[in-house]
Amino acid sequence: MTDIQVLVVDNEPLMRQALKIILEAAPGFQWLGEATNGIEAVDFCAGNNPDVILMDMQMPRMDGVEATSIITTNYPGIGVLAITAFSSEEYLVPALRAGAAGYLVKDAEPTEILAAIQAVQDGSAAISASVSQDLIRAIREAHDVKPSSSIGPNPMALSEREQEVLQLLARGRNNPEMAAELHISEATVKAHLSRVMAKFGVRDRVQALIRAAQYGLVELHMD
């Protein structure tokens, strides 16, 4: 199996060095290069082919949100994993909206960072356990996702299993946790989520949760 090629983007030299050490010490991963801001990250992708980018959100010249949006639009084969000191709505929702496949805080353990990179490479989402409730709170507060009668009926009926997956997603569960609770494979979880997003006509999990809450299909739990 080919090593996962990783670009590290962060304006802090110590953080770049720490992530480089983690990647170089782990089998199956390869540090491909580094950038200190969003402009450098976009330029790097024009001439290189990283599999996954570890993207800081708060950087000079061009921040991580803008860089993520440009990269995921122009290079859809590259997965972006936001990694930042902040788990607040100010950074969390914009990063996911820009196309980031995951969001980690910088104090995550090396094993969690590597697992998140692998998840993004595998086409899954990776949300740090410490920010999953912030994500739910941000969706609730920023998007006013209350059941609405004006949106009309559910346009396409969900299967019982798809509804179960949605309920667990609303509780902040990640793919492995959903697979364990439902006694199915992670690949099957991903397939159910893909069908849910297709039925709702949305492109990511955040939008799927918003739509599901608007239809009154889920309640976004804070515990």
Q: Look at residue 93 and give its three-state secondary structure.
A: helix
Number of domains composing the chain: 2
pLDDT tens figures, 58-103: 888 899 999 999 999 999 889 999 888 765 556 677 777 788 888 8
* Beta-bridge partner residues of 7: 33, 53
The confidence score (pLDDT) of residue 87 equals 57
Of the pLDDT bands very low, low, confident and very high (cuts 50, 70, 90), residue 149 is very low
Q: Which of 44-58, 152-166, 169-183 shows the lowest per-residue confidence on average (mean pLDDT)?
A: 152-166
Residue 176 lies in a domain: yes
Same domain, 153 and 106: no
Average pLDDT estimate for 141-153: 48
Residues 35 and 106 in one domain: yes
Residue 49, SS3? coil
User: Of the residues 130, 162, 187, which one is the last residue of a structural domain?
Assistant: 130
Contact 81, 101 (CB under 8 A): yes
pLDDT at 40: 96
- CATH number (domain holding residue 192): 1.10.10.10
Per the structure, the complete domain to which residue 84 belongs is given by 4-130
Give yes or no: residues 189 and 107 share one domain: no
| 118 has a pLDDT exceeding 60 | yes
Residue 130: is its pLDDT beyond 90?
Answer: no
pLDDT of the residue at 51: 94
Of residues 209 and 222, the one with the higher pLDDT is 209
pLDDT at 147: 45
Asked if residues 40 and 15 have their Cβ atoms less than 8 Å apart, the reply is no
Q: What is the CA radius of gyration of the chain?
A: 17
| Range 128-149 average pLDDT | 54
